[in-house]
A and B are shown apart, each in its own frame.
Chain A
Amino acid sequence: MSSEVANVYAEALLSLAREEDKILAFKNEIKAIMPLFDSEVIEFLATYNIDKSLKKDVMKMAFKDLSVELLHFIYLLIDKNRIRYIKEIFKSYLLMANEALKIKVVEVVSARPLKEADKKRLLEALKMKFKMTIELEEVLDERLISGIRVKMDDQLVDVSMAHKIEDLKKTLKESW
Chain B
Amino acid sequence: MNIEVDVASQLFPNPFTMAFTLLVTAVLFFFIYKFVFDPARAMIQKRQDLMAAELSDAAKAKEEASIDREKAKEEIFKARDMASEIIADAKLKADETKGEILKSANDKADDMYRKAKDRILKEEKEMREGLNDEIVDVALEASKKLLGDKDLSKQDEEAIDRFIRELSDE
Q: Which residues of A contact B (CB under 8 A)?
A: 110-112, 114-115, 118, 121-122, 125-126, 128-129, 142, 145-148, 150, 157, 159-162, 165, 168-169, 172-173, 176
Contacts and interface: CB of A to CB of B under 8 A. Distances in A.
28 contacts: A110-B156, A112-B152, A112-B153, A115-B153, A118-B156, A118-B157, A121-B164, A122-B160, A122-B163, A125-B164, A125-B167, A142-B148, A146-B147, A146-B155, A146-B159, A147-B155, A148-B156, A148-B159, A148-B163, A157-B163, A159-B160, A169-B136, A169-B137, A169-B140, A173-B132, A173-B136, A176-B132, A176-B136
Interface of B: 129, 132-133, 136-137, 140, 143-144, 147-148, 152-153, 155-160, 162-164, 166-168, 170
Contacts of A122: 160, 163-164
Nearest to A162: B144
Given A121-B160, A148-B160, A168 B167 contact: no
B156 A147 contact: yes
Contact of A161 (B152, B153, B170): B152
Main SS at interface, chain B: helix
Given A115-B156, A147-B158, A172-B136, 10 more contacts: A112-B153, A114-B160, A118-B160, A121-B164, A122-B163, A125-B163, A146-B152, A147-B155, A148-B160, A157-B167
